[in-house]
Amino acid sequence: MVLDDWNAIIKQAESRRFIGREKELETFRYHINASNYLIFYICGQGGVGKTTLMKRYGEMAHEFGFLAVTSDEQQKTIPELLGHFAHQLAEHNIHLKKFEKRYKTYQQKREEIENDPSAPQGIIGMLGRGAVKVSFTLGDGVPMLRKGLEYLPQEK
């Protein structure tokens, strides 16, 4: 098939252009061999090749028999992030049925609230900030939770 031929040509050309990241690739290779599970993240300035590196990590993970899911700045909330992960897993025929059902309900309710003309403007953001405040309050009674929450900004 012609499309498969073009995809192979493009992939081969991209792999030849992928230079200068040997240290990162070796670090990833080491960790993927040494772990039963792995959370690997990349952060940094835009335009330096993080997405390209993540794609290469995904290919390497596949070569080692792992499934890789990725995220980026497009997922702005935890539910969006989890939904993004569930979607990627579903593409590999791994379905999180209970989560998918609840996430669909969440999306519908969120859309209803956002489109409700009688709802106050910014209600979704306010609810999110409220959840963070509740977490800070609960965190005072749970030492480990409080430590993790110290990294979140608090409103004065």
Claim to verify: residue 127 and residue 147 sit in the same structural domain:
yes
Q: What is residue 95's predicted lDDT score, i.e. its pLDDT? A: 94
User: What is the spatial distance between Cα 66 and Cα 34, in angstroms, rounded to a whole number?
Assistant: 13
Q: Model confidence at 88, in pLDDT bands (50, 70, 90)? A: very high
62-66, 74-78, 79-83, 124-128: which has the minimum mean pLDDT? Answer: 124-128
Alpha helices by DSSP H, listed for the chain, are 2-17, 22-34, 50-63, 78-90, 97-115, 123-139, 143-149
Q: Do 3 and 37 fall into the same domain?
A: yes
Residue 99 above 70 pLDDT?
Answer: yes
- For residues 42 and 18, the model is more confident at 42
Give the relative orientation of helices 22-34 and 50-63 as an angle to the nearest 10 degrees. Answer: 40
Q: What is the pLDDT of residue 113?
A: 87
Shared domain for 34 and 55, answered yes or no, is yes
Quote the domain boundaries for residue 150: 122-156
Mean pLDDT of 59-75: 87
Q: Are residues 11 and 61 in the same domain?
A: yes
Same domain, 22 and 64: yes
Across the chain, what does the average pLDDT equal?
Answer: 77
Domains contained in the chain, number: 3
Let me know whether 57 and 110 are in one domain: no
Of the chain, the percentage scoring pLDDT greater than 70 comes to 68
pLDDT of amino acid 115: 87
Judge if 83 and 60 occupy the same domain. Answer: no
